[in-house]
Amino acid sequence: MEKRQIAILGSTGSIGTQALDVIRRHPEKLEVYALTAHRQVELLIQQAREYMPEMVVIADETKYKQLKEGLQDLPIKVWAGAEALAQVVEAEPIDMVLTAMVGYAGLKPTIHAIKAGKAIALANKETLVVAGELITQLASEYRAPLLPVDSEHSAIFQCLVGEGDNPVDKIFLTASGGPFRNFTLEQLKRVTKNEALKHPNWNMGAKVTIDSASLMNKGFEMIEAQWLFGVHPEQIQVLVHPQSIIHSMVQFRDRSIKAQLGLPDMRLPIQYALTYPERLKSDFLELDFNKFQTLTFEEPDTSRFRNLGFAFEAIRQGGNMPCVLNAANEVVVAAFLQDKIGFLAMSDAIERAMQTVEFIATPSYEDLVETDKKTRALVSWRT
C-alpha cells in the first residue's frame, strides 16, 4: 500500500477526530491533504497546525477571518463556503475522501468527489439515504469505490470480502437499542435530550446519538445497506443486540452466517476503510470473551420506535420519499435538541411530512434539492 492522501470532510466531528487519531498512528501509510469543518474554527485551527494539510475549508463564511488569521504563519490554503467544500475534494493529489459531515450537507461534496474519481470512505449516512440510486450510478460511472465506515456496514463489507459472486440471502443489521430500549410509551413521552444523549455503548455526535435513541439511525442504515450491497429491504433484518459486540452478520444461500465482532470502537472501521485491503496492526482494545459470555438478540418494537418503520416504508415507496424522511428528521432532531418538541413528537412530524410532500417517482438531483427545501419548510412550520 502506497501512502494515501486523505481529505476529511467534517474533521472536527466525532468521526473526523477519530479518523485523525488513526492517521496519527500510521504516518507512514496515511497523510492529511485537506480538512474541512462547519463552524468549529478553533478546533480546525488546532488540527491544521498539527497535521499541516495543503488546505482547510470552513463552511461558515463568518468564521473565515478567524481561520485565516489563526493559520497566517503557515503555508496552508484557507477557503470558506459551501462551494469551496465541493471544490476541495477535486484536488488531484487526493486519493480518498472521508465524508464525515453530518446531514444532507454532505451530498453535494460527495458527488463532486465521485465525479473526480476519488475513493469514498462513506460515513455520511444521509448521502445514500437521500440519493442512493444517483450516488451508486455515479460511483459506477466514474469508477469511484464506496468504502463503508459505519460499524454495521463495515462489518457487512468485511463478511463479504472473499465471497466473490456468492449471493447474499439475508443481512442482519444489529442495533444496540439505545438508552430507551425498555421504556414504555408513557416513559418515552417524558424523556429529555440529556437522557437521549447518553448512549449506552457508543461515543457519537449529538445528531447521530438522538437518531440512535429513536432507531432512525437503524432505518437509515437499512437504506444504506440496500444501496451498498445490492439487496432488497425484505432481505434486511434489524436485530437489537444490546452488547454491541456483533456489529452485523451476513447469511448466504446455504444458510451459513458470517459475523464481524469487536469492542465498540469506531476507529477500527475507520482504519479498515482508509487502508483497505490491508489490515494494519493496531493497539485498540482486544475483545475478551470472558467478559461477554452472553450475547442476546431481540426484535425491535416499531410501535414504540416508529421511525424504523417509516424508513422501511420510505424505501419501499422509493423516489424522493427517503429524501423527505431525512429532511424531516434533521429538522425534528434539531428541534428536540433545542427543547422545542418532545421525543415522540419527532415521529409525528416525520409521518405528517411523508403524507404531505409531493411524491416524485424518479427524481433528478434538482428534484431532491427542491424536496429537501419543501420538507424543511413544512416541518419547521409545524415544529
Boundaries of every domain in the chain = 4-148, 153-317
Helices (H), 107-258: 107-115, 125-141, 151-160, 185-188, 193-196, 206-214, 216-229
Find out whether 247 and 174 touch, Cβ atoms under 8 Å. Answer: yes
CA-CA distance, 279 to 281, in Å (whole number)? 7
Return the biggest CA–CA distance within the chain: 62
pLDDT value at position 362?
95
Q: What is the DSSP string of 322-358?
A: HHHHHHHHHHHHHHHHTTSS-HHHHHHHHHHHHHHSP
- SS3 string, 85-104, reads HHHHCCCCCCCEEEECCCCH
Local confidence pLDDT in tens for the 383 residues of the chain: 789 999 999 999 999 999 999 999 999 999 999 999 999 999 999 999 999 999 999 999 999 999 999 999 999 999 999 999 999 999 999 999 999 998 888 999 999 999 999 999 999 888 999 999 999 999 999 999 999 999 999 999 999 999 999 999 999 999 999 999 999 999 999 999 999 998 777 667 789 899 999 999 999 999 999 999 999 999 999 999 999 999 999 999 999 999 999 999 999 999 999 999 999 999 999 999 999 999 999 999 999 999 999 999 999 999 999 999 999 999 999 999 999 999 999 999 999 999 999 999 999 999 999 999 999 999 996 65
Q: Would you say the C-alpha torsion 345, 124, 39, 264 has a positive or negative sign?
A: positive
Q: Report residue 217 as a C-alpha cell.
A: 439511525
Q: How many CB atoms lie within 10 A of CB 186?
A: 7
Q: Is 312 helix (H, G, I), strand (E, B) or coil?
A: helix
Q: Which residues pair with 251 in a beta bridge?
A: 170, 257
pLDDT value at position 203?
67
Find out whether 357 and 324 touch, Cβ atoms under 8 Å. Answer: yes
Q: What one-character DSSP code corresponds to residue 298?
A: B
pLDDT value at position 285?
94
pLDDT value at position 355?
97
Q: What is the DSSP string of 25-58?
A: H-TTTEEEEEEEESS-HHHHHHHHHHH--SEEEE
Task: Specify the fold of 4-148.
Answer: Rossmann fold (3.40.50)
